A and B are shown apart, each in its own frame.
Chain A
Amino acid sequence: MKKKQFDEFLGEFQSLPHEVSIMNFVSSRAHEISAMTSSIENPKQTKLLFQKLPIYMRRRVMSHNVKRLPRRLREAHLAQMAKSGNGKDLPSTNKRLSRKYRRRPRNLFSEYNRRQCDKMWLETHIWHAKRFYMIDKWGYRIASHPNDKCFRANYRAATKYCLLQDISYYTCIEITGEEKLLKTTLKTHCNTSMLTFAAKKYINGHREGTLMFYKKNGYPQFPIGNVDFFWQPNKLDVQTNVKTIWIWVHPAFYDDFLNEIISSFEFKQNNIEQDVANTIHNLNCLYTNNVGCTMIILRNALNRFRLRGTLTLNVLTKALQLPSLNKLDFYTDYTVLKDDDSSLRKLSKNTCSCMPTDIINKLRSECLVPGVSNDQYYTEDIMAKIPILLIQKPGTITGLGSGIDVIIPARWAMPFWLAFLMQCARAGGLQESRSIAFESLNSNTPDVNDPDSPAYMREALITKEQLTKKYFRYPPNRRINFVKFGIRSPFFCDWKNLMKNWSGNEDFYVLRNREILLLLQAGICPAKNKNVKFLAQNTQSNFSNLNDYKNCLIHVHIFMMGKGSPKKFAIICMPTFEDLNKIKTNKKWFGPVEKCHNDPNEKIRKALRKNHLILLKRLRRQRVRRKQALKNNALKLLKESDKLNENKLIIVSSHRKIISDQLVKISELYLPKCAEVRHSCDREVMGYITLGDFSFSQAKGIGIGYITLISLLEMINKRSNIVLVRNTQTRQYRLAELNILV
């Protein structure tokens, strides 16, 4: 018989167990305690802090103005606000400082320094940044094109008026040494069949030359880029065999150039001998070698402005004034305007300081009769005399691209720039240098690189990536299907595969032998040019010995015969015999149409996308289910929170990987890699257009491109210079005339 419990004594039916299972009891208590602590630590509050204050402590607009809260609550309040959507306009986090504060000279200066830390600014940067679209290129921040609509206006300025460009991003390299040594060493970097550094034309220092610089003994395979150079003129009374040459290098291939020069002259860096000039620019710019040559890199020590157009001389004569040199005997070393005895080192050493405008104005205000022409007090003695160097450049026959380059010492860019602008010169950017080179069909400039140079390859890779990224940003139904158009490389020129298809070898280089080019020109369009005529008289036209040049690309330009303008990456194709016959019979015919290609990947892509979407849906469902489960068993899983987070991270990363893999797969299906270029469409592909547009000077679409030599020989056999050009986004071929650029 059991002993009766208390409740039963009273006639009720409740009974307690005789024993307590400690483990169960403790564990359930533990759960309760942990739930309690967690709810205390992470309170599920629906109210903000200031809303929970007693009424007598509440103030208006408390949430906006922290100072209305009691001080001990401010921190917590800020933390709460930062989490919420209003957190963006909290004063402490992101508010812009007042304009007045930002415009204080010291703050402005520090801001400018901060922005310059990873790239270089030109001296006219701020002027440009207000008016131009700026881009990061070659370690500089360079003006690309003006923000106003002025493409045609700038072309007009370059032909009829004056176009002004700041090209201070070019680096000047000064090499001093024995004349013979300089000549022989530099000659190894040139095409010796043409003009070299040592040409008689340039050696007296009256002209600036431009030529293609190669790797040492690298002609013709390894070009680096076009460089401008000029020699220091001989002084009449001094006879020495030590000469100085200044080479101006474009930043696109500056590093390649410098490495080549250092290795071929065996230069060593020399930091002990520090010139006064070196304090201005970088310290590591003096190099010497055992034979007594020295090289100084005048990086950012000189400014170079380019003035193009027929009114250039007017602008210069109005903007600059020649000081009377006889009065200033001690200035004879500092040369002014057009004086040939000048030295760039002196230019860079020049320390004349610019007089502030207010002082000039004060001096001028003392005049009784106002006017710039009547300057009594602001006379020549007070004015700064700045040595500058003018370099004349000839252009094409019509004067396009002709003009003068002005070299100015450092820190003087802005006064000169403004003075030129005041004389109605138009300012241009990078786009203008390219368009001038394009309009004048001048391949001999540093602005345009040939496809066999490393600078071109770097540039091409960057543009390819940019364009591909842009392409895949479009939704699938707005993406052009280039496979259907039969375009294998819509965003780059596939030179290697092209050459492989034509000659069986992947390597290629651009043919720069003048005689062979003239011969080819005579073959493709007989006796048009006088130079060709004279050459044709001397040499028998003989194309059989061109086997050595199988791997050459030929630089050509293309004139559209009717409508249309070729664009970048357009393909140049060879017409068939039927096409040629049609051209002869029907003059209004504007070219064949490519058949619509069949895209074998289209179905695969669709299936892949469908499966991918299903997979994504499934994963999403899984995620939702897991979240629900988490909510339900919150307490149970609380202890294992670390493990849980880890799991979550793994899952998220795996999902991301699925998505990125899908992108790669799809992109490969959209732009499949293909080695067959030559027979990729109906007509045989000869080459690509690298630069093409509507030309204002020719009043029709023209293009500059490269074709393979073997295809050109086939054209010569067909006795026609008419080719077909097709842009990447169309199936219409257009007729064009082919000419060889010499």
Chain B
Amino acid sequence: MAEIDGSSGLNKTVSEQKGAYRKKLSLNEHALRKRQAFKFATSNRDIYVNNKTPFKGQLYKCEKLLDKGASELIIHGLGAAVCKAVNLALRLKDIHHNTLDLDVKTSTVTLVDDLEALNDEVDDEINSRQNSSIHIRVIRRVPVAVLRSK
């Protein structure tokens, strides 16, 4: 799982890093290319929330899984999607009349950006940055019969 960083010196280094990285990009020597974030688990019950997919669709996906008889779901949200993940979990709890328990865990994820060289003189570089993420375990308190076969 991702590292949970609590050191106080982090803030300074992060801001320094950010400055250096902005500078590099502004020199027009590099092009920014983000790498895809690492997915911890891709089993059936893991749901990764993003800002592009409509909220209703994501809700429906969770509902379907719960109807199929899943005892727990894990909703992951990264960065800007944290808000949406929380929303989703709360809405689920609401729909199920508080029969769901939420176990919230926050963490910090290291993301990697590639700085691709645009000139002959410079080499490719890698910039790693931190982003906050949330993992919400949605657990069923009351056993319910399977409502949906498939």
Contacting A at CB under 8 A, from B106-131, are 117-124
Chain B residues with Cβ below 8 Å from A538 are 26, 28
| Residue contact A200 to B123, C-beta cutoff 8 Å | yes
Q: Within the assembled complex, what's the spacing in Å between the Cα atoms of A534 and B120? A: 20
Chain A residues with Cβ below 8 Å from B35 are 397
| Residue contact B32 to A530, C-beta cutoff 8 Å | yes
Known contacts A195-B118, A397-B35; A534 and B28 CB within 8 A of each other: yes
A514 CB–B CB distance under 8 Å = yes
| Residue contact B32 to A537, C-beta cutoff 8 Å | no
| Residue contact A397 to B34, C-beta cutoff 8 Å | yes
| Residue contact B120 to A531, C-beta cutoff 8 Å | no
Chain A residues with Cβ below 8 Å from B7 are none
Chain B residues with Cβ below 8 Å from A201 are 117, 122-124
| Residue contact B25 to A200, C-beta cutoff 8 Å | no
Chain B residues with Cβ below 8 Å from A515 are 28
A196 CB–B CB distance under 8 Å = yes
Q: Within the assembled complex, what's the spacing in Å between the Cα atoms of A535 and B29? A: 11
Q: Within the assembled complex, what's the spacing in Å between the Cα atoms of A200 and B29? A: 13
Q: Within the assembled complex, what's the spacing in Å between the Cα atoms of A666 and B118? A: 54
Contact partner of B36 (CB less than 8 A), chosen from A199, A398, A514, is A398
Contacting A at CB under 8 A, from B8-52, are 22, 25-26, 28, 31-36
* Nearest CB on A from B34, distance (A): 6
| Residue contact A537 to B26, C-beta cutoff 8 Å | yes
Contacting B at CB under 8 A, from A386-402, are 397-399
Chain A residues with Cβ below 8 Å from B119 are 195, 199
Q: Within the assembled complex, what's the spacing in Å between the Cα atoms of A534 and B28? A: 8
Chain A residues with Cβ below 8 Å from B120 are 195-196, 198-200
* Nearest CB on B from A231, distance (A): 13
Contact partner of B118 (CB less than 8 A), chosen from A194, A198, A398, A530, is A194
Q: Within the assembled complex, what's the spacing in Å between the Cα atoms of A144 and B119? A: 37
Contact with B along A598-611 (1 / 0, CB 8 A): 00000000000000
* Nearest CB on B from A700, distance (A): 13
| Residue contact A399 to B36, C-beta cutoff 8 Å | yes
Q: Within the assembled complex, what's the spacing in Å between the Cα atoms of A200 and B125? A: 12
Q: Within the assembled complex, what's the spacing in Å between the Cα atoms of A398 and B50? A: 14
Q: Within the assembled complex, what's the spacing in Å between the Cα atoms of A83 and B36? A: 73
Contact with B along A115-158 (1 / 0, CB 8 A): 00000000000000000000000000000000000000000000
| Residue contact B117 to A195, C-beta cutoff 8 Å | yes
* Nearest CB on A from B84, distance (A): 20
Q: Within the assembled complex, what's the spacing in Å between the Cα atoms of A537 and B23? A: 12
Q: Within the assembled complex, what's the spacing in Å between the Cα atoms of A397 and B121? A: 25
Known contacts A531-B31, A537-B26, A538-B26; A397 and B36 CB within 8 A of each other: yes
* Nearest CB on A from B125, distance (A): 10
Chain A residues with Cβ below 8 Å from B33 are 397
Q: Within the assembled complex, what's the spacing in Å between the Cα atoms of A535 and B31? A: 10
* Nearest CB on A from B43, distance (A): 15
Chain A residues with Cβ below 8 Å from B28 are 515, 534-535, 538
| Residue contact B118 to A200, C-beta cutoff 8 Å | no
Q: Within the assembled complex, what's the spacing in Å between the Cα atoms of A535 and B121? A: 19
* Nearest CB on A from B120, distance (A): 5
Q: Which residue of the partner chain A has the closest CB to B24? A: A534
Contact with B along A534-568 (1 / 0, CB 8 A): 11011000000000000000000000000000000
Known contacts A198-B120, A200-B122, A201-B117; A531 and B36 CB within 8 A of each other: no
Chain A residues with Cβ below 8 Å from B36 are 397-399
Contact with B along A419-438 (1 / 0, CB 8 A): 00000000000000000000
Q: Within the assembled complex, what's the spacing in Å between the Cα atoms of A425 and B123? A: 34
Contact with B along A499-515 (1 / 0, CB 8 A): 00000000000000011
Chain B residues with Cβ below 8 Å from A514 are 118
Q: Within the assembled complex, what's the spacing in Å between the Cα atoms of A399 and B31? A: 18
Q: Which residue of the partner chain B has the closest CB to A514? A: B118
* Nearest CB on B from A442, distance (A): 13
* Nearest CB on A from B129, distance (A): 13
Q: Within the assembled complex, what's the spacing in Å between the Cα atoms of A515 and B123? A: 19
Contacting B at CB under 8 A, from A191-211, are 194-196, 198-201
* Nearest CB on B from A405, distance (A): 19
Q: Within the assembled complex, what's the spacing in Å between the Cα atoms of A514 and B119? A: 12
Q: Within the assembled complex, what's the spacing in Å between the Cα atoms of A398 and B124? A: 20
Q: Which residue of the partner chain A has the closest CB to B113? A: A530
Contact with B along A192-236 (1 / 0, CB 8 A): 001110111100000000000000000000000000000000000
Chain B residues with Cβ below 8 Å from A397 are 33-36
Chain A residues with Cβ below 8 Å from B118 are 194-195, 514
Q: Within the assembled complex, what's the spacing in Å between the Cα atoms of A531 and B122? A: 17
Q: Within the assembled complex, what's the spacing in Å between the Cα atoms of A37 and B119? A: 93
Contacting B at CB under 8 A, from A684-704, are none
| Residue contact B25 to A199, C-beta cutoff 8 Å | no
Q: Within the assembled complex, what's the spacing in Å between the Cα atoms of A535 and B26? A: 7
Known contacts A398-B36, A399-B36; A530 and B25 CB within 8 A of each other: yes
Greatest chain A CB density within 10 A among B22, B35, B120, B121 is at: B120
Contacting B at CB under 8 A, from A368-390, are none
Known contacts A534-B25, A534-B26, A537-B26; A199 and B32 CB within 8 A of each other: no
Chain A residues with Cβ below 8 Å from B124 are 201
* Nearest CB on B from A198, distance (A): 6
| Residue contact B121 to A200, C-beta cutoff 8 Å | yes
* Nearest CB on B from A527, distance (A): 14
Q: Within the assembled complex, what's the spacing in Å between the Cα atoms of A478 and B118? A: 53
Chain B residues with Cβ below 8 Å from A537 are 26
Chain B residues with Cβ below 8 Å from A198 are 120
* Nearest CB on A from B31, distance (A): 5
Contact partner of A199 (CB less than 8 A), chosen from B22, B34, B117, is B117
Q: Within the assembled complex, what's the spacing in Å between the Cα atoms of A534 and B27? A: 9
Q: Within the assembled complex, what's the spacing in Å between the Cα atoms of A530 and B116? A: 14
Chain B residues with Cβ below 8 Å from A194 are 118
* Nearest CB on B from A93, distance (A): 62
* Nearest CB on B from A230, distance (A): 15
Greatest chain B CB density within 10 A among A195, A198, A399, A534 is at: A534
Chain A residues with Cβ below 8 Å from B121 are 200
* Nearest CB on A from B51, distance (A): 15
Q: Which residue of the partner chain A has the closest CB to B25? A: A534
Contact with B along A396-415 (1 / 0, CB 8 A): 01110000000000000000
Chain B residues with Cβ below 8 Å from A196 are 120
A→B interface (CB under 8 Å): 194-196, 198-201, 397-399, 514-515, 530-531, 534-535, 537-538
List the 10 closest A-B pairs by CB distance, nearest first.
Answer: A199-B120, A534-B25, A201-B117, A200-B123, A534-B26, A530-B32, A201-B123, A531-B31, A201-B124, A397-B36
29 CB-based A-B contacts, threshold 8 Å? A194-B118, A195-B117, A195-B118, A195-B119, A195-B120, A196-B120, A199-B117, A199-B119, A199-B120, A200-B121, A200-B123, A201-B117, A397-B33, A397-B34, A397-B35, A397-B36, A398-B36, A399-B36, A514-B118, A515-B28, A530-B25, A530-B32, A531-B25, A531-B31, A534-B25, A534-B26, A534-B28, A535-B28, A538-B28
With A200-B121, A534-B25 known, 4 other A-B pairs at CB within 8 A are A200-B123, A201-B124, A398-B36, A514-B118
